[in-house]
């Protein structure tokens, strides 16, 4: 069970898994797959982790952008990663919509809301569904295909993009999990 600290809304792990599958299928409908990048710029949200899992299930790479960033910093990251799809919170969309008009590589902008704000609301995006047990993730070449694009802190200049393949990400997270046990 996962509990939203702000709203106290409870979500089961089964519901989060189902949302991950539905997000993956909805991204596939937008032709997202291996070689694509999908970015998320939002505050803390229950949809964040299912979106990340959904992205990885399509074979695409995930890159995060902090919604507190200044316009030039988010533009810097977007220009490096060139996401095909960008998910934003309502606040991040309102803050960065002028900056987003400066890029032409983002094919779909999705705002985490049920109401129509921006090009596409999360409710409008989330059209696909399949039972979890019937879902198969897109096959990837784990040692080659990029899973995560993470940025350094930028202590010696602008932040640098560091990539994790699916295999390296699994090895890092698996090691971290084993260290916790």
In tens, the pLDDT along 78-114 reads 999 999 999 999 999 999 999 999 999 999 999 998 8
In tens, the pLDDT along 68-77 reads 777 788 899 9
Tell me phi and psi for residue 99, to 5 degrees. Answer: -65, -40
Residue 133 · residue 117 · CB < 8 Å: no
Token pair of 17 as six digits: 């898994």
The Cα diameter of the chain in Å comes to 48
**Distance in angstroms (rounded) separating the CA atoms of residues 78 and 107:** 13
65 sits in which H/E element:
strand 61-66
Choose which CATH entry (3.40.50.150, 3.40.50.12280, 3.40.50.980, 3.30.420.40) describes domain 2-141.
3.40.50.980
| The model's pTM | 0.89
DSSP strand E in the chain: where?
2-3, 10-11, 37-42, 61-66, 85-89, 108-112, 120-121, 146-151, 161-165
């Amino acid at each position: 069970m996962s509990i939203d600290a702000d709203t106290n809304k409870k979500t089961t792990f089964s519901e989060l898994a189902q949302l991950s599958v539905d997000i993956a299928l909805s991204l596939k409908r937008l032709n997202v797959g291996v070689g694509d990048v999908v970015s998320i710029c939002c505050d803390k949200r229950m949809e964040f982790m299912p979106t990340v899992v959904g992205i990885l299930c399509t074979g695409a790479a995930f890159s995060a952008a902090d919604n507190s960033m200044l316009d030039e910093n988010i533009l810097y990251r977007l220009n490096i990663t060139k996401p095909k799809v960008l998910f934003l919170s309502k606040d991040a969309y309102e803050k960065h919509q002028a900056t987003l008009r400066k890029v032409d590589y983002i094919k779909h902008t999705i705002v985490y809301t049920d109401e129509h704000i921006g090009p596409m609301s999360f409710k409008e995006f989330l059209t696909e569904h399949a039972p979890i047990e019937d879902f198969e993730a897109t096959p990837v070449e784990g040692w080659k295909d990029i899973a995560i694009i993470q940025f350094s802190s930028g202590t010696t200049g602008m932040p640098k993009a560091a990539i994790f393949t699916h295999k390296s990400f699994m090895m890092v997270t698996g090691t971290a999990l084993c260290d916790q046990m």
